[in-house]
Every structure is written in structure tokens, then in C-alpha cells.
Structure 1
Amino acid sequence: MSETQPTTGRPLAERVAAKLLYPTSRPSAKDLHAAVSGRNVLVTGASHGIGKASARKLAAAGATVLLVARSAGELERLTAAITAAGGVAHAYPADMTDMDAVDRLASRLLTAHGHIDVLINNAGKSIRRPIDESYDRFHDFTRTIDVNYLGPVRLLLTLLPAMRSRGSGHIVNVSTWGVLMPPAPRWAAYGASKAAFDVWLRSVATEIAADGVTATSIYMPLVHTRMSAPTDFSRVPGLTVDEASDLVCHAVTAKPVEIAPWWSTPIQVWTGLTRSRAQHFLARAFQRRGA
């Protein structure tokens, strides 16, 4: 499924299943405009998928969107499209695995724009690989941890002091529902890196709340994007990019502490009560499919 495919392009059964499993919230145009108009909104991973769609919607609502991704060409094209539509956008090509470059990026942003009102941490790296194919691929773990954990931490360590001194700011973390679920086979590198930043941000959020800085964790379900495309999710109901970006806009507007599928809490409770049985169930399921 391409990142531009409309919701109506999916089979009816999938659309119904997605609505039941992953109900989404789209803020009104008035509420979104009130939340972001005239404000600086930083979007990482803005060149494709959820980040790109979110940036377009936020710019249309009056935000000055600051676009970060590795792909300079894609960022320039997105900047041009937003500008042509009457919005304001600035491209900042950067590699989130280069900590020195991330530090320089944060300093450039503060110099150019004075402050960041909203940071949407959307950039991510996904790897699905069994452990017996990972023994000689330590770089799988270092590159996921750099993009999904250390890069965002490095960025926020520079941006947070300005947010706290101003007494305002909002951080939106596009996480994954997998962080809330029992650990799944083949997803060790991805799951661990996403869980690391999730715990880091939730811990930091308790410290910065008194300074007027808030945070929302979006435990995003499956979204059909180019990042998820290498794994065959054709039979699994998921959100479109448009639906996922609605969740991001809802997070920016309403600022809830978290957004998660309605069924995640019962599963967490069940897992906590039956941790060993859940582990055995997943192990048997993995063996039946074949390693």
C-alpha cells in the first residue's frame, strides 16, 4: 500500500476491522489551527509516510513546519509543495545516527527560529530479523538504537532547556503498540530501541511537567508505509498514512499523555498476570511458523 493510497482504496473488510481495532481521532480544522497557527513545529522523519502527511496538515493549519530527514531532495520537494499551497516550511537535512550532526541541527534550529513549540519525534528504523541471522550483524542493533533512541535523546538534550525556560512546549513521540505488548519474535532490535526511548521520555516527562512542557506517547498500531512494506502485512488490518497523521494532529491539539489502541490495556493486564504462559505461547507460535 503506497503512502498516498486513500482509505477508500482498501477492501471493505479491512476498513471495518481497522475502524474497530484502531479508532482514530481527527481534530477539527478550528482546533488544529488554534493549536499550531504561528508556532514552530519540528517534524523528524518528514520526507515520507506519517511525518510527511503530518507536516502537510500542520502547515495547512498555519504552523511553521521544520522538516528533518536524511533525504535532502525529498525535503526540498515537500517544502516547495507546502509553500505553493500557502504554508511555511523549512528543510533541515540531517542524519539522526550522527550525534554531532544532531547536536548541530538543534543549535541551528534555535538560532534560526528562536524556539521550538512542538517536536514530533517520528523518524524511525525498523528491522525484523530472527536472532540466528543476527549473530554477525551487530550493526542492526546500533543503527536502530541510534535512530530510535539516541538520536532523539541528543536532539532533546539541546532543545529542552529553551522549552523549559519559556515555560511551554509539547513533545509527541510516535512509538509503537509493540512496546505495550509481549515481546514478539524477530523484532528484538526494533522493540528494544523503541522501548528505550519510550521509557526515557516518560521518565523525563515527570521532571519537565512543572515547567509547562508536556509530552504525548502515541503507541501507533500497524500503519501501511514503506517502512512496514518489507514484512508481509497484507492480511493484517492497519491504518493508512492519512489516518495515522490524524492521530499525530490529535496529539498536538489535545495533548493527552498517551494514545493507544483500546485493547492494549487488557492485554497488558493479562500479560502481567500470565507472563510465563504468554512467553511460552509466543515461542510455540514461532516454532510452528518455522524459524
Structure 2
Amino acid sequence: MNETPAQSNGRPIAERVATRLLYPTSRPRAKTLREAVDGKVVLVTGASHGIGKASARKLGAAGAIVLLVARSADDLRQVAAEIEADGGTAHVYPADLTDMDAVERLARQFLDEHGHIDVVINNAGKSIRRSISDSYDRFHDFTRTIDINYLGPVRLLLTLLPDMRERKQGHIVNISTWGVLMPPAPQWAAYGASKSAFDVWLRSVAAEVSGDGVATTSIYMPLVHTRMSAPTDFSRVPGLTVDEASDLVCHAVTTRPREIAPWWSAPVQAWTNLTRNQVQRFFERGRSLLPGSSSRT
């Protein structure tokens, strides 16, 4: 399909310019990425679609041995075939990360079959936007969200961390959200709480394991236009493409920073701390104008 003069990569040029200004990304050079991951065992959860799939493909092309985890075996096999067509190596592990016993068995299987894990990219997640008035009879919204966004990755890492610490090397990359750094937003209670829980857990654990050579990186990802975000109408909101988001993941794996966040998040946090009550009142005044609920199940 031909693009109009007002479009770039299928998106309005104005949005692409805004995205570049608000969320600048960094793509590692191919040689640098290969030097960082060639021959390394990299585990990617949520690898069947979106950011996980794009990241796995780029890491596989750079020489990583990629372990693909998601619920759909067919989708994972397709991703593996694409990685292998590019000359990479991939292994498929269909799994439900909300089944804690299965997650533990899966982690032990990784260690049995590959000896160790060099990098864990915690990308699998569930997003849901629903007002609290629509949630009174939907406690499962909260349990399902916290299982995949918090308890599942904790269960996985509790099994993988001892080997990383013993080997004195390892890297955990968490795909978080910039919303964790911002004032709590209406209608995002389930999602925000679950992502915040794992963010705090990982930062706390990082203080204990860094002395053993295990690095952690939290990517406070801005909006990314994926099928997970699609149920909410973000069509007019500047956001990253999947390709741009996966560049951030590759940058994290290459440089191992403690965190990656939009450049404006720190001043906004500082301003929020000074004006917390005003921000809360703003949300309260605007609640009647909020759009309807949506979720990704």
C-alpha cells in the first residue's frame, strides 16, 4: 500500500516526529550486539508476538541461542522457523506462566537442557483497563493479571537465580512500563499494581544479587502499538513501533544499564511529588470524562 505524503511507515508523520522527540531509542550496531550475545543462552518470555518476537529474532540473528516461551506452540514454532531461516538457533517451550508449578518445572528444564541461562528477558504480560465500578464482580481480573505480570516471573527467577549467582554472571531484563513511574492512572488498577509489584521486587533483589555478578535492567517502556495495547484506542497517542521497542531491548542486553526510561520521566516524577494532591484532584475531576473499559484477555 502506498503511503500518503503525511505518513511514514504507515503512521502519520506528526506522530512519528512526536515519538522521536518523546521516546528516543537506540539501536546497537550489529557488531556490538553480536559481541554481546553470540553463543549466549537468552530466554525470552512472551516470544510469540510483539516485542518478544521482534527481540528474539534480532537476538537470534546476532548469534544468541534463544529460548522461546509463550502459550501457543504453533506461534512459537513459527518464530523459531524465522530465526533459523536467518541463521540463528531457537528452542520452543510452550508454557502457561500463570501455572506456578509448571513454571518451576520449566525453569529446571532450561537448566537441565542448556546448563545455564545468560539473559532472561521478562516480556510476557497482560494488560487490562477497566473501571473499578466494572470490577466488583471480576476479582479474576486482578488474580490473572498479577499471576502473569508478577508471580510468574518471580517463580521463574527463584529457580534460575541460584545458578546465576553461583556462576557470577547473568542479566535480567524486565519490560516494565513508564506508568510505574507516573501517578496512578484511573482504570488501570489491576495492571499498574501488578507491574509495580514486580518492579519493586526486582529492584529489591538487584541490591542483593549485583555483588554476585548478576545485572538487572528495568525498561520503563512507553506506549508500544501492539496487539496487547490494541483494545484501548491509542490511535492518536504517540507510541513506539514493535521494531523500535525491540531496539531498546537489544540496547539493554548490550549495555546492561540499570534502567531505561523516557527522558522526561524524572522531571515529571519530581513535579508529581510536589503536586501530588493537585494531580489526584485532576484525575477525580476528569473521571466522568473517561472512555469505556477495555482489556486484553
Structure-1-length-normalised TM-score: 0.97
Separation (CA, whole Å) in 2 of partners of 1:286 and 1:10: 30
| Distance of aligned partners of 1:7 and 1:25 in 2 relative to their CA distance in 1, 3 Å threshold | farther
Which residue of 1 is the match for residue 295 of structure 2? none
Helix, strand or coil: the match of 2:128? coil
Spell out the pairing of 1:89-100 with structure 2 (5 A cutoff).
89-100=90-101
Spell out the pairing of 1:94-173 with structure 2 (5 A cutoff).
94-173=95-174
Spell out the pairing of 1:181-260 with structure 2 (5 A cutoff).
181-260=182-261
Amino acid paired to 2:83: I
Separation (CA, whole Å) in 2 of partners of 1:44 and 1:280: 38
Helix, strand or coil: the match of 1:136? coil
Question: Which range moves more in the overlay, 81-90 or 127-136?
Answer: 81-90
Does structure 2 conserve the Cα–Cα contact (< 8 Å) formed by 1:172 and 1:216? Answer: yes
| Distance of aligned partners of 1:290 and 1:31 in 2 relative to their CA distance in 1, 3 Å threshold | closer
Spell out the pairing of 1:257-268 with structure 2 (5 A cutoff).
257-268=258-269
Does structure 2 conserve the Cα–Cα contact (< 8 Å) formed by 1:7 and 1:240? Answer: no
Compute the displacement of 1:283 (Å): 1.4
Which residue of 2 is the match for residue 57 of structure 1? 58
Spell out the pairing of 1:25-104 with structure 2 (5 A cutoff).
25-104=26-105
Deviations 1:30-69 (A, max 9, x none): 1100110000000000000000000000000000000000
Deviations 1:58-105 (A, max 9, x none): 000000000000011100111112112211000001101000010010
Compute the displacement of 1:288 (Å): 3.2
**Are 1:280 and 2:273 an aligned pair?**
no
Helix, strand or coil: the match of 1:91? strand
Helix, strand or coil: the match of 1:172? strand
Amino acid paired to 1:255: R
The percent identity for this pair of structures is 75
Separation (CA, whole Å) in 1 of partners of 2:103 and 2:196: 21
Give the aligned length.
286
Does structure 2 conserve the Cα–Cα contact (< 8 Å) formed by 1:45 and 1:69? Answer: yes
Helix, strand or coil: the match of 2:129? coil
Amino acid paired to 1:78: V
Helix, strand or coil: the match of 1:226? coil
Compute the displacement of 1:289 (Å): 3.5
Amino acid paired to 2:80: T
Compute the displacement of 1:290 (Å): 6.6
Separation (CA, whole Å) in 1 of partners of 2:177 and 2:21: 18
Amino acid paired to 1:229: A
Separation (CA, whole Å) in 2 of partners of 1:245 and 1:290: 30
Does structure 2 conserve the Cα–Cα contact (< 8 Å) formed by 1:70 and 1:94? Answer: yes
Amino acid paired to 1:41: V
Question: Which range moves more in the overlay, 281-290 or 142-151?
Answer: 281-290
Compute the displacement of 1:257 (Å): 0.4
Helix, strand or coil: the match of 2:116? coil
Which residue of 2 is the match for residue 3 of structure 1? none
| Distance of aligned partners of 1:287 and 1:115 in 2 relative to their CA distance in 1, 3 Å threshold | same
Amino acid paired to 1:266: P
Separation (CA, whole Å) in 1 of partners of 2:282 and 2:268: 14
Does structure 2 conserve the Cα–Cα contact (< 8 Å) formed by 1:174 and 1:218? Answer: yes
Amino acid paired to 2:239: G
Amino acid paired to 2:122: N
Separation (CA, whole Å) in 1 of partners of 2:10 and 2:235: 14
Amino acid paired to 1:154: R
Gaps of 5+ in 2: 1-6, 293-297
Separation (CA, whole Å) in 2 of partners of 1:196 and 1:95: 20
Which residue of 1 is the match for residue 4 of structure 2? none
Helix, strand or coil: the match of 2:184? coil
Separation (CA, whole Å) in 2 of partners of 1:285 and 1:234: 20
